[in-house]
Amino acid sequence: MTQWLHQHHFIYAGFILLFGILTGYALYLIVIKIVQWKSPASPSAARYPAVQYIWLPIILTTLAIFADDAVERGGLKTYFWWDEFIAMFQSLPVIAWTWQVIAICRFYFSRLTHRHTDDVNVVHNMTLVSNLITILFLIGGGYVLLRVWSLDISPLLTSAGLVTAIGALAARDALSDFFGGITIFLDRPYHIGDFVVLTSGERGEVVNIGIRSTRLRTRDDVHISVPNSVMIGAKIMNETSQLPQYRVRCRVGVAYDSDLNEVEQVLLDALKDNPYILQEPMPRVRYRNLGDWAVELEVLAWIKDPRDRGVTQDMIIREIHQAFREGKIDIPYPRKEITIRKSDTECS
């Protein structure tokens, strides 16, 4: 059997790689047993994110270890570029471990953030630390890959001017977004869950603050990704940052012969049964202008959640219209009178 395997090099190498895969899977089962033994109260410990997908890095690691023996004992060095073959197998576990460790860190940091959603400082600090750890692992994984492929970048680093030029040209936007993200974490102009309005007109809820960009979810359930450098340089109106309430406005006009005190009382009575309007602070009516054909006024009311602005304005308009109809209060509209005069020549 051994002599036959030595005569069939590819099959021999395949058996070695298969043995490496089986060895990795056996190690994965051992890790599962250890986790279950350490957590007897939780029989489903194997489903924890720390071990749920760890089988892939373990198998790739053992496969990379046995790849060198497969090439050498299988006599494959004479068939193709065996150095690149070994480097490829050694790169796979590096990528898998980097991805797995980053996924585990981000999962546990998200759990910690969810436990402290009421503490804004903890949420920002956890998010910042999670992003920094992700960057460090990405840099470390990239460095290990360069070592695996025996790539020496030190000649490129000998000239500080060259490095500065490359960084300024190639990574200018990325660095700007990265430092913009750090500025957002430190300055905290908005938080996750806040409703913000940008100068370009976009309005939505902040659902994620990442390394490169901030994601907003509009009222149409459309996600907008805005670079952090743009968020730092733009004028942002935060509707929910300081006070847990938001003011809704509704303009309307009444006829000049209307009793303004009665109009105000009718409007306030109409808003009492609105479930979205807060009674503290109380709604109010303010007369704004003496227009060409109406006395212009504005109804001001406060709501708790900016998400309810659209439905609240809809209900206010309906309630005002119904109250004015019941109270026989006219809402004037522009009218034009056209007078046709006959000339003297036509009269004669």
* The pLDDT of residue 80: 58
* The pLDDT of residue 155: 64
Q: What is the pLDDT of residues 203-240, one digit of tens each?
A: 888 988 877 888 999 888 889 999 888 888 888 888 87
**Ranges of the chain whose pLDDT falls below 50:** 45-46
The phi, psi pair for 252, rounded to 5°, reads -155, 160
Q: Distance (Å, rounded) from C-alpha 22 to C-alpha 62? A: 9
* The pLDDT of residue 347: 53
Compute how many other C-beta atoms are within 10 angstroms of the C-beta atom of residue 105. 17
* The pLDDT of residue 253: 93
Q: What is the pLDDT of residues 154-207, one digit of tens each?
A: 665 555 555 566 665 666 677 677 778 778 877 778 888 888 888 888 888 898
* The pLDDT of residue 45: 47
Q: Distance (Å, rounded) from C-alpha 239 to C-alpha 197? A: 8
Strand partners, 286: 298
Strands (DSSP E) contained in 117-159 are none
Q: Distance (Å, rounded) from C-alpha 248 to C-alpha 314? A: 11
Residues 6+ apart with CB under 8 A from 36: 43, 45, 46
* The pLDDT of residue 221: 86
Q: 292: closest CA among 241, 231, 335?
A: 335
**Is pTM beyond 0.85 here?**
no
Q: 298: closest CA among 325, 316, 322, 277?
A: 316
* The pLDDT of residue 46: 46
Residue 268 one-letter amino acid:
L
